Amino acid sequence: MLRFDILSIFPEMFRSPFDASLIGKAREKGKIEIHLHDIRDYAEGRHRMTDDYPYGGGGGMVMKVEPVARALEAVVPDRDGAIVVLLTPQGEPLRQGLVEELASWPRVVMICGHYEGVDERIRSHLADREVSIGDYILTGGELAAMVLVDAVSRLVPGVLGNSGSPVADSFSTGLLEYPQYTRPENFREWKVPDVLLSGHHKAIEDWRKRESLKRTWRRRRDLLEAISLPEEDRKILQSLILEDEQDGP
Ligand code: 6GU
């Protein structure tokens, strides 16, 4: 069981993505819990403002620290066993390793950043980690929080059911996935590779390994540099690089 708490000024954004699909099923099965908290409920004053003008001037608005601090204190009065993540474009880029680390916590609390930025004291005094989901700017941290919940949840035992095993997927081998096919065998003369129909298990395994290496070499050389390939795989890679240079398929 993993519990997520999401602090946001737009908690309603999360309803349908978290009710539908595998995440909804995981909640029904009690594998995960998702609790939404409206930061505005913790804001004071007649207008319950969650943002304010930046000290020093300049454009844009800044997310206030007090409502976030009060919300956090209500949600995790004792922070033992909980990790508090601030979603912000300035954060550490989200990769599978960080997803795995977050999945090891019993409780993941997320603060969705908003406006042109958040008061620096939210990051320096309230958050344990800052996470970004990539090098582009979203209007707020909500979609990033959904990405995080999805990626972390699929690692929680029992969430994937029989639809897949997280150990077999590409980011645990460090390589991109090989091409997959299902029926029909021939669609508009677009054919399934013969080897996959051969029933020759060793040949299929070799083909898949080669295709994974080829695809990773062509599309994501950075991934190959980050892993140490077994000797056998390096040989396969060498041969397909040569083939590629001679305009291979
Ligand atoms: Cl976490 N927040 C926002 N606003 N934009 C992002 C992001 C987060 N990650 C990538 N872009």
Q: What is the CATH number of the domain that holds 32?
A: 3.40.1280.10
Does residue 66 carry a catalytic annotation?
no
- Could you tell me if 127 and 191 lie in one domain? no
- Could you tell me if 105 and 199 lie in one domain? no
| Residue after which a domain boundary falls, among 127, 153, 179 | 153
- Residue 247's pLDDT is what? 73
- Residue 249's pLDDT is what? 77
Does residue 177 carry a catalytic annotation?
no
The bridge status of strand 62-63 relative to strand 51-52 is antiparallel
Q: What is the pTM of this model?
A: 0.94
Helices and strands, number each (H, E), in the chain: 10, 10
C-alpha of residue 119 to centroid of ligand 1, in Å:
16
C-alpha of residue 93 to centroid of ligand 1, in Å:
10
In a domain, 127, yes or no: yes
In a domain, 160, yes or no: no
Dmax (CA) for the chain in angstroms is 72
| Residue after which a domain boundary falls, among 91, 126, 153 | 153
pLDDT less than 70: residues of the chain: 162-168, 248
In a domain, 161, yes or no: no
- Could you tell me if 73 and 131 lie in one domain? yes
- Residue 164's pLDDT is what? 59
Catalytic-role residue among 17, 27, 66, 89: 89
- Enumerate the H helices of the chain as residue ranges: 15-19, 21-28, 65-75, 96-103, 120-121, 142-153, 170-173, 201-219, 221-226, 231-245
- Residue 162's pLDDT is what? 62
Ligand 1 binding pocket includes 137 (Cβ within 6 Å):
yes
Cα–Cα dist 33/95, whole Å: 23
Does residue 116 carry a catalytic annotation?
yes
Joined tokens for residue 249: 């398929």
Cα–Cα dist 35/43, whole Å: 19
- Could you tell me if 147 and 44 lie in one domain? yes
| Residue after which a domain boundary falls, among 153, 181, 208 | 153
Domain that holds residue 239: 170-247
The bridge status of strand 186-187 relative to strand 129-132 is unpaired
Cα–Cα dist 158/45, whole Å: 45
Burial of 157 by CB count in 10 Å (0-12 exposed, 13-18 middle, 19+ buried)? exposed
